[in-house]
Amino acid sequence: MRTLRPTTAAKWLLASYALAILAIFLVSADALDVLIFGTLLGVPWIVAPAALAALLVSTWDDPIVAWGSLAIEAAVIGSTAWIGLTLVAQPDPQNGIFLMLLPMLQFFGVVLCLVPLLLLRRAIALIQRPKS
């Protein structure tokens, strides 16, 4: 039986997230210009923080950092879903501005969450280092 690797999980998670965001944009567009520019600009902008986290999963050989980066990717996707549902439940004209700023906050969150993972990796390496 094959085990699930973090890189495979990250790719599938990112692909399903991008398709879901694309479907939301396609369904909610009411005019052709909104459809074209919203899809070309909006989907990559919203998916980019999760893509960064997925890229981090594939760059680390250490399983702790790889699985931790996958958890960060899942948190980015979950935060987008949570904020999206909140904005739909409580409509306000200011919601569009916040939704445009959300990926910047998520980029900051990905970098901020990566620092403790790297510190944990370093601490484990120091503990496991043979004493001479």
pLDDT value for 56: 85
What pLDDT is stored for residue 45 in this prediction? 85
pLDDT for the residue 33: 67
| Residue 10 included in any domain | yes
- Torsion (CA) 101, 65, 85, 46 in degrees, nearest 10: 40
| Residue 132: predicted pLDDT | 67
Is 88 a member of any domain? yes
Question: Which residues constitute the domain of residue 124?
Answer: 6-128
> 33 in a domain, yes or no?
yes
Whether 53 contacts 73, CB under 8 Å: yes
Residue at 1 is within a domain: no
Written as one letter, the residue type at 107 is F
Average pLDDT for the chain: 83
More confident residue, 77 or 34: 77
| 117 part of a folded domain | yes
Q: How confident is the model at residue 74 (pLDDT cuts 50, 70, 90)?
A: very high
- Is 78's pLDDT higher than 70? yes
- Is residue 55 domain-resident? yes
Q: How many structural domains is the chain composed of?
A: 1
In terms of pTM, does the model score above 0.75?
A: yes
